[in-house]
Amino acid sequence: MSSSIESLVNKEYQYGFVTDVESDAIPKGLSEETVRLISARKNEPAWLLDWRLKAFKRWQAMTEPRWPNVKYNDIDYQAQTYYSAPKSVKPLQSLEEVDPELLKTYEKLGISLNEQKRLSGVAVDAIFDSVSVGTTMKEELKKHGVIFCSFGEAVLEHPELVQKYLGSVVPYSDNFFAALNSAVFSDGSFVYIPKGVRCPLELSTYFRINAADTGQFERTLIVADEGAYVSYLEGCTAPKRSTNQLHAAVVEIVALDNAQVKYSTVQNWYAGDQDGVGGIYNFVTKRGKAFTNSKISWTQVETGSAITWKYPSVILQGDNSTGEFYSVAVVNNKQQADTGTKMIHIGKNTKSTIISKGISAGHGQNSYRGQVKVLPKATGARNYTQCDSMLIGNQCGAHTFPYIEVGNNTATLEHEASTSKIGEDQIFYCKQRGLNAEHAISLIVAGFCKEVFKELPMEFALEAQQLLGISLEGSVG
Amino acid sequence: MPHLKYRELFDAAAPQAAAKDFLPKLKIAAIEHFEALGFPTTRDEDWHFTSVSPIAERTFRPARPAALTVTNEDVARFTYVDSHWHLLVFVNGRYEPTLSRFAELDAEVQVMTFAEALKEAPELLAERLGTLAPAKQAFTALNTAFMADGVVVKVPKGVVVETPIHILYLTDAHAANASMHPRTLVIAERHAQVTLVETFGSLGGGTYFTNHVAEVVVGEGARVDHYKVQREGHEAFHVGTTQATQERDSIYHAFSFAIGAQLSRTNVYSKLLGENAEVRLNGLYALEESQHADHQTFVEHIAPACSSREVYKGILDGTSHGVFNGKVYVDPQAQQTDGKQTNHALLLGDGARVDTKPQLEIFADDVKCTHGATVGRLDEMAQFYMKSRGIGGERARALLTYAFAAEVLELIELDSLKVALERVLFERFIPPETV
């Protein structure tokens, strides 16, 4: 079965090209001056600069966390560029004026910013290095009162909303990478869904790192006002480079009473080559706060990045609120992932569900790290956790670190975990029905991940399944 | 730093003249290591949910010999049958020959106290002591530095010891504010079999500290059943570490029963070094009031085709706090590993709390490992059902709680011990008036 697969082993990471655009970057290095410079570039109001500076001060006093189950060389924070923008982008342009070179880039990535060709029902905010290139479908959204724009734009046009919610879920002092992000974040997306509005389109942000030695530090803030609903998608890619690039993002979600937010990610940053050279260091803080009767759902498909460190969490603040986490994390070659979730039950009758599927192949190391915490006041809390790992090849590793902390005797928690390899008997069965080994494996893997994929919006589910196939190519045989 | 007081205590103790060379050396290295380590804090991942500051704050001087006040009746409270078991009784950490008794033993089987072993088999101690449980962990280091007495059991090739060996550690009023550091060393050679029961009981010792370490060598095809019953006084502190190594085709079964101590920590570690070895780690803890019990298990699958089975259950009443951390490590070589772990906690008290962390670290692909954990209260449907059959409130709850626990007790293969522990639990959960 190896020959057909071997031919695919060397298949290139298809998003690994570099776009040749002139970029306007600030000098390498990080100091208070850098923070001021970024803030000034973006014409930010004084309160935001103050907030950034506070975060920077805090960051300087913090040390990089070493507890994750990943190994990497020390990051030189002075060797990074913290702001880089394609020269041709000026804020608040209409899409017609976007540099055709950039539009081409997105087309190559399969994301059409051209509205006629867009997938119906999806609005896209395209982020290129440190800035937003453009946002589609704005008019349509405006009719419903939905605000969907780049973060920089939101700071200038809706400062009251940004000021109210920025840092309310992930404070700047939260952790090392969140503090770094708070100090130097460049752009990101901002979403506000007004009271009682069901967002008519899927909202989507596409992140692209292009410039070399540049970190990407985007910040996404989603606010669903009372009774609102939104489904948000996020995708990301980066060119192939032999150096590691840093990506430290923060995503905050606020779901006010009776609101629902569904956040889906297909993470496909460049993962480095077979020997672990290059690739993105993905250190991300994602958290949502769910108020009374609201629901926050995270779905993630993590196939890229050399290192992933990411725990999308839900603070179940309000009574009867619900948190969900569905994840598929794939590591191949020398990739390492330490990912999972945190569900903090504070309100009464709060519910959480965690379904995590880890697939390890090649020399990959995959860790699930999750925390379910029931505080003493959270009467009637309920959690169901299932984390399964699949091992392909004998050089990889799968690890599980669940923390279950229960402080209320009316809580009911269940946790299940299993680790196994693809059964020879399953492959044999498929083969005797006429499938070749490769198909058999992709079928088995797809079945293993089905519970998570069914949570993804349709377009993404297809993409995810293909991605999974590509990520695992060459891992069997 | 509170832990430095132990160095002073160590230095103050007269050097043991009778000791062979290796022992003082081992002890000095251990105290030096302890000095460097200090007591663990909640910043240590392995002690995240258990603060040992109540132990660290106090200074427990090693227990001194005192006039014996313990009687055979006292001992009978902690033995499980009027049995023919071999019985070794330690009072406040010291062996009491007058309370102990031996049944017929195969001449080649060695059951010795520490002092006897130093005289009769010093080379055995020198070779094995501290090799399974090196002084890498603070409490093990402390035990090694202060160990004064204990039991050495050696079962030679092919010998089956039919009668269980019961080691009873008792404390009385003389133990107040003192520490005991008993040590157990068990060597079961090829195809040997032995059953060991270690009981920790109190006759009113107040606040004292037991810090026990056991090392168990399970040879090729050998089988060791190791029961630990922790019934320390409610003001006591208890830390116990058991470390085993297993050769091919061996079976090690460790059962831990814990209802005593205000703060206890029980570690059970096993290393599966030979193919096709099997380890079973089971446990039951029942806590009330503000008791705190922490159990940690660690199974290292080093060799292929080994299996591990683990069932731990906890019952938490009052404002008690239970902690469980079960680690399973599978080495890249350990293909065909079959690991299964379950952990259930029953929360009865309003302020009860449980933290559990089942952990898998797997580096081999052809494995089957699962773990499951649940936390919950008594099933309301079951209570309703019982009510509909005329068994109301308190009694239904007591019976359901008892049934929850009994499932683990079923795993005890010594009938008399099972019956005795059932009775201990029964008294705890079923108030006399409801029977």
* Residue among A393, A411, A417 whose CB faces B358 most closely: A417
How many angstroms separate the CA atoms of A194 and A191, rounded? Answer: 10
By the CB < 8 Å criterion, does B173 face chain A?
Answer: no
**B362 in any annotated domain:** no
Query: What predicted TM-score, i.e. pTM, was given to this entire model?
Result: 0.86
Beta bridge pairs of residue A26: none
CB neighbour list of residue A85: distance below 8 Å, 6 or more residues apart: A23, A24, A25, A41, A128, A129, A130, A131, A186
- Is B333 an 8 Å CB contact of chain A? no
Contact (CB, 8 A) for A315 and A78? no
- The number of distinct structural domains making up chain B is 2
Q: Tell me if B279 is assigned to some domain.
A: no
Owning domain of residue B215: 4-274
pLDDT score, position B15: 56
Residues of B in contact with A396 (CB under 8 A): 363, 365
Q: What is the ipTM of this complex?
A: 0.83
Decide if B327 is inside a domain.
Answer: no
Question: Hey, is the C-beta of B318 within 8 angstroms of any chain A C-beta?
Answer: no
Model confidence pLDDT, tens digit, residues B164-208: 999 999 999 889 999 999 999 999 999 999 999 999 999 987 899
B260 and B404 in a single domain? The answer is no
Strands A382-392 and A351-361: parallel
In this structure, the number of other CB atoms found within 10 A of the CB of residue B69 comes to: 11
Please check whether residue B292 lies inside any domain of the structure.
no
Check if A292 contacts B (Cβ < 8 Å). no
Are residues B202 and B171 in contact, defined by beta-carbon separation less than 8 angstroms? yes
- B351/A391 Cβ within 8 A: no
Of A477 and B304, which is predicted with more confidence? B304
| Strand (E) or helix (H) holding A123 | strand A122-128
B141 in a structural domain: yes
Distance from CA of B296 to the nearest CA of A (A): 14
Question: Which band of pLDDT confidence, cut at 50, 70 and 90, is reported for residue B221?
Answer: very high
User: Using only C-alpha atoms, what is the Rg of chain B?
Assistant: 21
List the single residue in A with minimal CA-CA distance to B49: A405
User: Based on the domain organization, do B264 and B384 belong to the same domain?
Assistant: no
- B322 part of a folded domain: no
CB atoms within 10 A of CB A20: 9
Q: Contact, A280 vs A243, CB < 8 A?
A: no
**Contact A393/B at CB under 8 A:** yes
User: What pLDDT is stored for residue A18 in this prediction?
Assistant: 74
Question: Which tokens is B129 given?
Answer: 């002591």
C-alpha torsion sign, points A329, A394, B245, B416: positive
Residue B281 lies inside a defined structural domain of this protein: no
Question: Burial of A385 by CB count in 10 Å (0-12 exposed, 13-18 middle, 19+ buried)?
Answer: buried
Q: What is the DSSP string of A244-260?
A: EEEE--EEEEEE-TT-E
In this structure, the answer to whether residues B52 and B168 fall within a common structural domain is yes
Distance of alpha carbon A161 from alpha carbon A146, whole angstroms: 13
For residue B297, pLDDT beyond 90:
yes
Residue B433 in this model has a pLDDT that exceeds 60: no
Q: Is residue B290 part of a domain?
A: no
For residue B79, the model assigns a pLDDT of 87
pLDDT score recorded for residue A261: 96
DSSP string across A369-418 = EEEEEE-TT-TT-EEEEEEEEEEESSS-EEEEEEEEEE--TT-EEEEEEE
Give yes or no: residues B251 and B385 share one domain.
Answer: no
Last residue of a domain, one of B258, B274, B290: B274
Tokens standing for B377?
A: 């209260």
Instruction: Tell me which of B224, B251, B274 is where a domain ends.
Output: B274
Low-confidence ranges of chain A (pLDDT < 70): 1-12, 14, 87-99, 102-103, 106-122, 130, 459, 469-477
Of the ranges A421-425, A455-459, B3-7, B25-29, the best mean pLDDT one: B25-29
**Of the residues B246, B274, B302, which one is the last residue of a structural domain?**
B274
The Cα B62–Cα B93 span in angstroms is 9
Of B353, B373, B377, the CB nearest to A415: B373
Cβ of A389 under 8 Å from any chain B Cβ? yes
Cβ atoms < 10 Å from Cβ of B45: 11
Calpha distance A122→B256 (Å, rounded): 58
Mutate one of A419, A424, A425 to test the B interface: name it (highest B CB count within 10 A). Answer: A419
